[in-house]
Structure formats: C-alpha cells, structure tokens
C-alpha cells in the first residue's frame, strides 16, 4: 500500500513538474497566464489520480499587509476547479493561524489525522465553514521566501500521509512561483509601458501640441485595429506603440519644429528625417518592433507619394497605415501655428473630399478609410474626452 502511494505521489509530482516546464516554455513565446497554470495544478492535485485527492484546498498569499494572508478555498465540481469561497483574509497573528505559520514546530509541513477540537480551532472560521464537513485530516504547507503564504488540503480519503504532503509541496512550489513570476512580469510590463510613455512625452514636449495628441492617437489606432478584425494582442500593442510615431522629432531642432510660418526646402528636408530618426531611436528590441514600423512608415502614402521611402499599398506596414490615418485626423482637429483647429464635421469633410494637402483616396488605405467613416463618431468622442492639458 505504501509503495503504491509512493508511486502515485511520484507520478503526481512528475505531472506538476511537466506542467511547470510547459509554462516556462509558454513564458518565452506567448503571454503568460499564471492563473491558468495555477488552476491546472490545483485540478491535478484535487483529482489525485481519481482516488487520492483532498476534498478541498485553501490557497493564500500575503497581501499588501505582510501580516495578512488572502486566499480562497477551491474544490472540484464535475472535474473542474471551482472557487468554494470568496476571498478569505487571515491574520497570521491570530490564534487560529498558529497552524498556518507553525510558530511552534517551525516545520514547513504539518500532517494531521486528528479530529480533536483543538486542531480545528486553528483554522479560520471562514475556511472551516467552506470545508463544510467535519475536518477528518489535513495537510498544510507553509510557503516562505520571496512569496509567503499557506496551502491547506482538507479531508483526504482515509488518512493524510507523507506522500500527500510531498504532492502538496509540489503544488505550493508551482503556485508560489507562478505568483512571483506573474507579479514580477506585471511590474516589468508596467515599467516598460511607463518608459515608453515617458519617451513619447519627452518628444511631444518639443512640439507645440500641449494637449494629449499621443494619447488620442493611441486610442484611434486601437479602435481602427480592433475594427479591422485584428487580434486583441495586436490591438493592445498598437495602442501603446502608436504614441511613439514622432519620437524622431526629438532630433529635429525646435527652431524648425516650432517655426512660425512656411518652411523652406532645407527645413522641410530636416523634418522629413524624423521617421528615420525614430526608427533609429527605437532600436532593435522585439517589443518595439511595431513602434519602429510605425515610426518609419506613418508618412507613407497609399499611392507611393509619401516619404521617406515612397512605399505604396501593402508595402506599407499595416501599423503605419493605421497610425497615419489616426495622426492626420488628430492633426486636423488640433491647433497648429499655421492653422486653427477644425471641427469634427470639417475634418470628416476633408477625409471625404480632400484639401490642398490631403488626398484621402490616394493617401489612405481604402479599407481603413471605410472603417474610419464607420467609426467617425468614436473618433469625435475620443478627441472630445481627451482634450486639454490637465489630463
């Protein structure tokens, strides 16, 4: 029997290991969903190879306040993991938490098959309530290190054993590393977005537009991409990459950028360098690939009459075609030294009939132009809701 249990726990631990290994590979190639991995791991342990799973498991981690653990009770329903409770917060200094922090034993694992009242008193009332049945046995595992927390599995069939504790330890390792990784990834992602926003803002500061041009361009570009049937991931990426379309302008002297009056040939040539400067500044980071594409191609025209490369049609990256349209709409609506702002209706009129600078049918991707006419009211509300300096 014990040989059999040992082999079973070994197989369960190997499965957890395989799951973690797959997740590590996923981290490299797609968006990491820590939640999905945690649920799969919980499911494996609760199923317990069909006959060795606990009735339910409480999983808790430290919240913002180090003295508190926040978690939920999970169990299986029709083979799927379900939350059996809302969030249950535990004060680690409370009497009932002694079993969780193991102040007395200092062991990571406690296995108990006692049903005496005393043990049951150690559980938070809310957790006990969720377990429902009498607690006949339990195994707790304390998570320490970078992430702290506790995992308690209740009511194994028969007795809780060392083998069950081994499996639970495996589960704790998987869940706590997922928690740490996704936490750090979130932080890294936030830092990344913050950095690119600062870069985009620094470049915008050199221009006369003190409004929220770049924020609005992000939004229009996201709306166009979503309505073009592009994936949620792409919509996400273009919604933060669009703001960097003019980063190259940081290398254009303010005397030219802010010049009051028409630019001469030489000055125009300098301004027209900004797509190439932008491409250079954004470098070769894979995370900035779309931003780089946009920077270099947002002044290309559908008919090949744009700059800097004179690309035409599908040769122009889709991201560049999207941001071009968004950028032109916003430029029309905004005040510039050489022009006053247009109303939404006037801007839409130019998208329909053109003017001395814009030839919509030859400059824009016709499919995107059609989407613009469908979405024009959304453009108007984005502009109206993101205007002014105090945003």
Looking at the annotation, which residues are catalytic?
249
* CB closer to Fe ion out of 143 and 203: 203
CB of 245 to Fe ion, least distance (A): 6
| Contact stretch for Fe ion (CB under 5 A) within 19-27, 45-53, 116-124, 319-327 | 319-327
110: part of which helix (H) or strand (E)? strand 109-112
Which residue stretch of 164-172, 195-203, 241-249, 343-351 sits at the interface with Fe ion (rule: CB under 5 A)? 241-249
Helix (H) or strand (E) holding 139: strand 138-143
User: How many residues bind to Fe ion according to rule CB under 5 A?
Assistant: 2
Q: Is residue 300 involved in binding Fe ion (CB under 5 A)?
A: no
Which one of 39-47, 85-93, 327-335, 381-389 is the stretch in contact with Fe ion (CB under 5 A)?
Answer: 327-335
| Positive or negative torsion for Cα 362, 368, 371, 376 | negative
- Is residue 164 near Fe ion by the rule CB under 5 A? no
Q: Would you say 151 or 214 has its CB closer to Fe ion?
A: 214
- Residue 28 to residue 189: CA distance in whole angstroms: 14
With beta carbons less than 8 A apart as the criterion, state whether 169 and 108 touch. yes
Q: How many CB atoms lie within 10 A of CB 366?
A: 12
Answer yes or no: are the C-beta atoms of 156 and 164 closer than 8 Å: yes
Q: Which of residues 196-215 bind Fe ion (CB under 5 A)?
A: none
Look-up of token digits 């991707």: 365
Is residue 365 close enough to count as binding Fe ion by CB under 5 A?
Answer: no
Q: Which is nearer to Fe ion, 164 or 327 (CB)?
A: 327
Q: Is residue 327 close enough to count as binding Fe ion by CB under 5 A?
A: yes
The nearer residue to Fe ion, 58 or 220, going by C-beta atoms, is: 220
Place of tokens 């726990």: 9
Q: Which residues, 6+ apart, have CB-to-CB distance to 317 below 8 Å? A: 293, 294, 297
Pick the closer one to Fe ion by CB: 185 or 358: 358
Please state the closest distance from residue 329 (CB atom) to Fe ion, in A. 10
Which span (61-69, 78-86, 239-247, 379-387) binds Fe ion, by CB under 5 A?
239-247
CA-CA distance, 123 to 120, in Å (whole number)? Answer: 6
246 sits near Fe ion (criterion: CB under 5 A): yes
The minimum distance between CB 298 and Fe ion, in angstroms, equals 6
> Can you give the C-alpha Rg of the chain in angstroms?
29
Look at residues 332, 381, 322 and name the one whose alpha carbon lies nearest to residue 353.
Answer: 332
Residues 13-72 that bind Fe ion (CB under 5 A): none
Contact set with Fe ion (CB under 5 A): 246, 327
């Amino acid at each position: 029997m014990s040989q059999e249990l040992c082999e079973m726990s070994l197989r369960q631990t190997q499965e957890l290991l395989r799951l973690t290994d797959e997740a590590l590979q996923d981290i490299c190639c797609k968006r990491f969903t820590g939640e999905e991995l945690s649920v799969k791991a919980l499911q494996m342990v609760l199923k317990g190879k069909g006959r060795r799973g606990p009735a339910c498991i409480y999983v808790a981690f430290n919240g913002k306040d180090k003295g508190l653990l926040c978690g939920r009770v999970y169990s299986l329903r029709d083979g799927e993991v379900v939350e059996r409770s809302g969030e249950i917060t535990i004060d680690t200094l409370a009497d009932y938490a002694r079993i969780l922090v193991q102040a007395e034993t200092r062991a990571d694992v406690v296995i108990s098959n006692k049903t005496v009242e005393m043990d049951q008193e150690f559980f938070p009332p809310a957790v006990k309530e969720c377990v429902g049945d009498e607690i006949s046995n339990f195994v707790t595992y304390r998570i320490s290190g970078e992430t702290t927390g506790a995992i308690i599995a209740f009511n194994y069939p028969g007795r809780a054993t060392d083998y069950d504790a081994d499996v639970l330890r495996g589960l704790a390792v998987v869940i706590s590393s997922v928690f740490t990784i996704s936490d750090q990834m979130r932080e890294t992602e936030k830092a990344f977005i913050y950095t690119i926003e600062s870069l985009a803002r620094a470049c915008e500061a050199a221009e006369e537009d003190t409004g929220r041009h770049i924020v609005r361009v992000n939004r229009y570009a996201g709306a166009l991409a979503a309505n073009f049937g592009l994936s949620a991931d792409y919509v996400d990426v273009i919604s933060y990459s669009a703001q960097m379309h003019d980063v190259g302008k940081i290398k254009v002297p303010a005397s030219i950028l802010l010049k009051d009056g028409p630019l001469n040939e030489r000055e125009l040539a300098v301004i027209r360098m900004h797509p190439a400067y932008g491409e250079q500044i954004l470098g070769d980071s894979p995370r900035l690939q779309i931003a780089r594409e946009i920077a270099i191609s947002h002044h290309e025209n559908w008919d090949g009459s744009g700059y800097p490369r004179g690309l035409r049609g599908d040769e122009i990256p889709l991201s560049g075609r999207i941001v071009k349209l968004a950028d032109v709409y916003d430029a029309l609506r905004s005040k510039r030294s050489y022009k006053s702002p247009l109303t939404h209706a006037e801007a839409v009129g130019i998208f329909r009939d053109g003017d001395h600078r814009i030839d919509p049918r030859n400059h824009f991707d016709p499919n995107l132009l059609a989407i613009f006419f469908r979405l024009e009211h959304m453009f108007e509300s984005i502009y109206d809701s993101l205007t002014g300096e105090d945003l």
